Chains A and B, each alone.
Chain A
């Protein structure tokens, strides 16, 4: 291990084998595993300049820093110039929304511990959910029947996703991997036997999503990166570096032709990425704490975020700025997950204070607060046809609301 140049920031004395996994913060990319060869899963890293190599003249660095800061300030000025009106002002002419009746229509009980993640199947009724106890369950939410269950080898399965075909699910968490399980029609078949290990990160898997194909998966990780993988071969197709801390969430743009996705992280940034090139094409940094959830507005021109700073925000890609904040003085706990209704008029937010707040996206006001869960809401998704949304909670249950 000591022979690997610059991989680990260790003194000989501290080079205990326990220092295997390490992640750099700041502007450097994550470091690969000990046995990382260059063809391994995407760990491009910028080697630290060792003392033996040339020392960077500090004036050059200072000058470049200044240039970078100047450009950043200029960018903020340019963005501000086009800020001629607020969204909620323009929205004053829109009819205010009436009272909503939203109730729990189904309660899914069966997990033995905190529900951490869920996803809908394209058939609009099936759901996959994952839990701290290592279980991944596939439900027919309409009948509340459990259809499949898999026990993962690790606890804290933080991410799960349904394949577009409905024939497989992906999941992962503390094992740093994303695995795909084909769903068998034979209820007795042991799903775990057919498991396919696809993604390999150097820290926990925080989110995963199939692209519009069963053959590709997009992942985000505590190692600060996102990555696109070929399911069949496990090959890394593209990696995305740019976050300065754990990446907690991602969402694919809804376009038929687009190749972009957005990610949010503990560095308080939301980044928009080009899937083809791996480049970060836009970045937004206005939250005051971790971004736990990002979701595109249905047209794909904007996206919402939920954060530990107890606010949700709307960012428009064409205006290149934050265009709305959804907050209230009485909401002091973080938002863990957000999603839009089909038209984009409503934003549903699941919060760490056990409630779900429903926001009028255009006017910026809250239109409903939903009680029911007995612990944090950790995950929330609207169904593919918008007829309902499902929330998962640390109270071990999932609820479908309509």
Chain B
């Protein structure tokens, strides 16, 4: 879609546009296609516009068209409200001079001149709407001292307009009005010129911002509240480049999986969980948001886990650890095997990481005493490497002091105790779920 543009594309062709410009350019591409002599729409009615947007349902086409109108790319010729309707009304394309990609930020003084000029034109169709009359009154108060000057400007413009050809004047009037409909929309309509403040500063060429439609003097815009100046691109230093090289090297050394394997994994995960996904499988007894009945949440809060919930623990060790009832059951099981200290250690370390930083050192010592110190009451078994590392770490206690030991214990539980838990009679009983009480309510 080669379209020449002067919106600041960098020389290597890679678009470095601000997000606003990106969207304007896309809308302008569509406008260009619409206006194309061969494939575009006949400049009569907008009905065929609906069939020109490829692969789109007409509701969506109307919506997109309305957005383009709201941004000021075309407009209904006899309505202030900028929408696109499928009712045979006529529309006109906006002149590129007024396109939003020109970074217009017209000032109130311009709006005052415009409204003032309108009152000088004795045409019924140019009569001010109520909201415009109110705006004019407000501006007259605000610019009371400047008003003579504004009035003069308006007069001068009205004079120039009178000299124009009638049809040309009609078209220009409508385009100008549409411009102001974008920048001073009818109350209740969306103002599409509102910007996301996080991005508002990143206009590619801030000095290109056009503020005055009629050539009046305006104050220079100050810095955006989110940024002070646009940064320059700097040459990276040796240090930085060396870091980059290290980084790329580390990435190259990474072990990667083939797409086919990864795709299979994504498919099987999704398949496994679709019965738990309320958007596919209605939750039992019902979705609270749809039925206005929150029994589902009350059941989940109860200590008795339903069959579906218990089955989920069998998907992975993490599912047991995630669910508080799962953890409880697993702990019970470990107690029966006299290895509950493993889970208790793991839980204690998780809890340690959640503590405020000040409490960490003392808690580290407590955990050490209870689980790892020689003669500890709840001694856990870790490999010697992790043990030595932890012994060192304890001297400078922090949130990650027990990281190696915790990982070792996690792997141990996952490869050993967890599989026995899933095969245990305790778990199997829960899986056979006696009938939920709620079903026997009456």
B partners with A? yes
Query: Chain A interface (Cβ within 8 Å of chain B)?
Result: 18-19, 21-28, 46, 48-49, 56, 60-61, 64-65, 67-68, 71-72, 74-75, 78-79, 82-87, 90-91, 94, 100, 102, 105-106, 123-125, 142, 156, 158, 174, 203-204, 206, 211-216, 222, 230-233, 235, 237, 246, 248, 255-257, 266, 276, 280, 282-283, 288-290, 297-299, 301-302, 308-310, 316, 318-321, 323, 328-330, 332-334, 341-346, 352-355, 361-362, 369, 371, 374-375, 385-388, 394-395, 400, 402
**Are A309 and B22 in touch, CB under 8 angstroms?**
yes
B54 and A329 form a contact (CB under 8 A): yes
CA distance A271 to B301 in the complex (A): 37
B267 touches A90 (CB 8 A): yes
Taking the complex as formed, is B206 at the interface, i.e. its CB lies under 8 A from any CB of chain A? Answer: no
Decide if A353 touches B63 in the complex (CB within 8 Å): yes
CB distance from B88 to the nearest CB of A (A): 23
Chain B residues in 8 Å Cβ range of A48: 234
- Given A125-B297, A343-B270, A343-B280, do A233 and B263 touch, yes or no (CB 8 Å)? no
B245/A71 in contact, CB under 8 A: yes
Q: Enumerate chain A residues within 8 angstroms of B242, measured Cβ to Cβ.
A: 64
The answer to whether A342 and B277 have CB atoms under 8 Å apart is yes
Counted as pairs of residues, one from A and one from B, with CB atoms less than 8 Å apart, the total is: 292
Q: A217 to nearest B CB, angstroms?
A: 12
User: Can you list 25 A-B pairs with a CB-CB distance of less than 8 A?
Assistant: A23-B227, A26-B231, A28-B234, A48-B234, A65-B241, A71-B248, A74-B248, A84-B258, A85-B263, A100-B279, A213-B353, A257-B407, A276-B400, A289-B17, A290-B19, A298-B269, A299-B269, A318-B265, A320-B256, A323-B263, A343-B276, A345-B277, A362-B270, A387-B283, A387-B296
Complex contacts, B279 vs chain A, CB 8 Å: 100, 102, 341-342, 345-346, 386
> Does B207 interact with chain A (Cβ within 8 Å)?
no
Report yes or no: B297 in contact with A87, Cβ–Cβ below 8 A: no
Residue of B nearest to A258 (CB): B318
Contacting pair A61 B238 (CB below 8 A): yes
Identify which of A288, A308, A328 contacts B55 (C-beta below 8 A). Answer: A328
Cβ-neighbour of B273 out of A82, A233, A344, A355 (below 8 A): A344
Could you tell me if B244 and A68 are in contact, using CB atoms closer than 8 angstroms?
yes
Residue on B with the closest CB to A386? B278
Whether B64 and A343, one on each chain, are in contact in the complex, defined by CB atoms closer than 8 angstroms, is no
Contact of B267 with A91 in the complex, beta carbons under 8 Å? yes
Please determine whether A318 and B256 come into contact, CB atoms closer than 8 angstroms.
yes
Query: Once bound together, how far apart are the Cα atoms of A169 and B294, in whole Å?
Result: 24
CB-based contact A22/B355 at 8 Å: no
Q: A67 — nearest CB in chain B belongs to which residue?
A: B245
**A contact face: mostly helix, strand, loop, or mixed:** loop
**How many whole Å from A71's CB to the nearest CB in chain B?**
4
Minimum distance in angstroms from A220 CB to a CB of chain B: 11
Bits for B33-75, please: 1 = Cβ < 8 Å to A, else 0: 0000000000000000000011111011101100100000000
A355→B60 CA distance, assembly (Å): 10
Give the residue name and chain of the B residue nearest to A330 (CB): B56
Contacts of A355 in B (CB 8 A): 63
Q: Report if A142-B267 is in contact (Cβ < 8 Å); known contacts: A158-B198, A232-B356, A334-B23.
A: no
Residue B321 lies at the interface, judged by CB distance under 8 Å to chain A: yes
B441 in the interface, Cβ–Cβ < 8 Å? no
Instruction: Please measure, in the bound complex, the distance between the C-alpha atom of A248 and the C-alpha atom of B19, giving whole angstroms.
Output: 13
CB distance from B234 to the nearest CB of A (A): 5
Residues of A within 8 A of B197 (CB): 156, 174, 204
- Do B198 and A248 touch (CB < 8 A)? yes
B235 contacts chain A at the CB level, 8 A cutoff: yes
With A46-B240, A87-B259, A158-B198 already in contact, the answer to whether A344 and B322 are too (CB < 8 A) is no
